[in-house]
Structure 1
Amino acid sequence: MHMNSAPHLLTEDRPAYERILDDALRHAHERPDLAAIGERLNPVQLRTMAMAAVALITAAAAVEYEHYVKARDELRATVQDRGARATGADELPESGAGIGAVVTVLAPVLAGTAAVIFLLVGYILKMLDPPPAFARTMIGAGWFFAAATAAAILVAAVGLLLAALRNGSTSLAARDSGEELPDDVARARDAWEDALLERGILPFLRDALADPGTAPAVRPPYRPANRMPKIGYSRPDFAGPDEGPAAAPRPSFSSPDFSSPDFGGPEHELD
């Protein structure tokens, strides 16, 4: 269900309004002044009416809400400023971390390529008769680079694991800190919610139960009609001759006389 747009209630705070309203309706049986729920109006009707009167209800706690929004905006500005300064301070470490990541990725590739080349050439030279003296040296260098490749792969795997653990703990800490508000912002939020409940929602519900006619009307759900709507004019009356009032006499029409002028026969010749 969508709430009406209220100029002093931000979109991000509308879920809080709905939560407070639902909680008040859920615990209405605990309040003697709301004991009439269900006799004239049920909770669904009251909720619909409160949704339609958002501007009226939230205006009762406008001062507390303004203080809460101001404190929250100041907190966000402070956090953004700290984040901008931290980004500038971390530019150099990030560059160093980027170089280390490149070396960690390239080291196994280069060492593995060197190992393949030295081993391949060394064993080919060893197949000659007689084998060159440096064939054993190339084979030894190939096995050395193979061991270096294995060590580089192990170091890279450990580095990736540590980075994943560090990023996971950092994101968890950031998520937890985002849910906790400073004391001044939390107090401002609690003050607004209490004022909204005590001076806005509860009086509205009491007035609606005392006199439902004074509360905003609840619109029934739209249902398509089974007949064509009237557009502003009525269809003509096609009543039979024996129905309705007596009709006025119809005018009679006789055909005109089309005799030729001044022509009556041979005795009327022109002079």
Structure 2
Amino acid sequence: MHMNSAPHLLNEDRVEYQRVLDETLRNAHERPDLATVGLRLNAEQLRTMALNATALITASAAAEYEHYVKVRREMRTLTTATSVRASPVGDSSEGGGAGFAAVIAVLAPVLAGTAAAIFLLVGYILKMLNPTPSFAEALLTAGWFFGALTAAAILVAAVGLLLTALHNGAAQVAEEAPAGGLPDEVSRAKDAWRHALLERGILPFLRAALADPSADPASTGPPRPVNHLPKVGYSGPEFSSPADGAASGRRTTFTSPDFTSPDFGSPEHQPD
């Protein structure tokens, strides 16, 4: 049967199935075919019955669900492949150059600042001596040079970090939006499955449950589950009218006359 060929509903899609069911029951007053909700069976009883019959209901939209799962799997595969291609594994030379530049950008201000501090400190100490050594001015000049170099290195490092952050942000946005319009296709496949699930599964099941006279709303236990969806124009062979039964009864009581020959009579009626 078609129900046996339906794919199993994945756990991540059971929440969506319950969402469609809850929306239908919440808006049941807007549908004339569900106007009797709350008279014999309330929304909670119908929800319990529909959850117990999840396999039966979802089988009615098996084709749409299979297409939705297929498109969603293809989208996830493409996203994973895009991430692998964007990784720096295949571009080792560029990655090594970028790493070396980052090391230089970090170490240059530190080394230049350390050299500036040493030259300035030694130069000013030597300048306090009397007589002042001749190379004290040279040390001070070197110290101020390394100080200017430190400021320039800090500025270059800040600009480099800003550009790197902007580049990484743009790459992340591009990765989160895969090409080919797959998100739109997945959305359309999901909407088609939801529509088929509602029109061919949930609504017919709820109508059959509301029309079932054997469901007792006064019972304390759960209502009797509906094990089939309604089929228009179908009548089972077990349904027969009282007139048919009476007619068949009359036919079984008819007997034909009993004709016997004189030779086969009883002893009391032997021929003379």
**TM-score, reference length from structure 2:** 0.68
Compared CA separation, residues 118 and 42, structure 1 to 2 (3 A): same
The match for 2:65 is 65
Amino acid in the other structure paired with 2:72: R
Distance in 2 separating the partners of 1:116 and 1:202: 82
Compared CA separation, residues 172 and 81, structure 1 to 2 (3 A): closer
Amino acid in the other structure paired with 2:203: L
The answer to whether the 8 A contact 2:126-2:133 is kept is yes
Amino acid in the other structure paired with 2:31: R
Instruction: Give how far 1:196 is off.
Output: 0.8
Which secondary structure state, in structure 1, belongs to the residue aligned with residue 105 of structure 2?
helix
The answer to whether the 8 A contact 2:79-2:178 is kept is no
Amino acid in the other structure paired with 1:218: P
The answer to whether the 8 A contact 1:114-1:142 is kept is yes
The answer to whether the 8 A contact 1:121-1:138 is kept is yes
Instruction: Give how far 1:99 is off.
Output: 1.7
Instruction: Give how far 1:102 is off.
Output: 1.2
Compared CA separation, residues 42 and 177, structure 1 to 2 (3 A): farther
The match for 1:56 is 56
Amino acid in the other structure paired with 1:148: L
Instruction: Give how far 1:46 is off.
Output: 2.0
The answer to whether the 8 A contact 2:115-2:143 is kept is yes
Alignment of 1:74-89 (within 5 A): 74-87=74-87, 88-89=89-90
The answer to whether the 8 A contact 2:82-2:175 is kept is no
Instruction: Give how far 1:167 is off.
Output: 3.4
The match for 2:194 is 193
**TM-score, reference length from structure 1:** 0.68
Compared CA separation, residues 135 and 176, structure 1 to 2 (3 A): same
Count, aligned residues:
212
Distance in 1 separating the partners of 2:99 and 2:215: 68
- In structure 2, runs of 5+ residues without a counterpart are 1-5, 224-272
Instruction: Give how far 1:114 is off.
Output: 0.6
Distance in 2 separating the partners of 1:46 and 1:148: 78
Alignment of 1:56-135 (within 5 A): 56-87=56-87, 88-135=89-136
Distance in 2 separating the partners of 1:190 and 1:102: 51
The match for 2:249 is none
Distance in 2 separating the partners of 1:214 and 1:160: 70
Instruction: Give how far 1:35 is off.
Output: 0.7
The match for 1:218 is 222
Compared CA separation, residues 153 and 76, structure 1 to 2 (3 A): same
Instruction: Spell out, residue by residue over 1:81-119, the C-alpha distance to the aligned partner (whole angstroms, 9 max, x if none).
Output: 233233244544333222222111111111111111111
The match for 2:158 is 157
The answer to whether the 8 A contact 1:8-1:62 is kept is no
Instruction: Give how far 1:40 is off.
Output: 1.7
Instruction: Give how far 1:162 is off.
Output: 3.4
Which secondary structure state, in structure 1, belongs to the residue aligned with residue 84 of structure 2?
helix
Which secondary structure state, in structure 1, belongs to the residue aligned with residue 117 of structure 2?
helix
Distance in 1 separating the partners of 2:135 and 2:61: 90
Which secondary structure state, in structure 2, belongs to the residue aligned with residue 130 of structure 1?
coil
Instruction: Give how far 1:172 is off.
Output: 4.5
Compared CA separation, residues 165 and 59, structure 1 to 2 (3 A): same
Identity of aligned residues (%): 64
The match for 1:234 is none
The answer to whether the 8 A contact 2:58-2:197 is kept is yes
Instruction: Give how far 1:39 is off.
Output: 1.1
Instruction: Give how far 1:183 is off.
Output: 4.3
RMSD: 2.7
The match for 1:39 is 39
The answer to whether the 8 A contact 2:7-2:62 is kept is no
The answer to whether the 8 A contact 2:109-2:150 is kept is yes
The match for 1:222 is none
Alignment of 1:255-266 (within 5 A): none
Compared CA separation, residues 165 and 83, structure 1 to 2 (3 A): closer
Instruction: Spell out, residue by residue over 1:178-200, the C-alpha distance to the aligned partner (whole angstroms, 9 max, x if none).
Output: 9x744443332222111111111
Amino acid in the other structure paired with 2:44: V
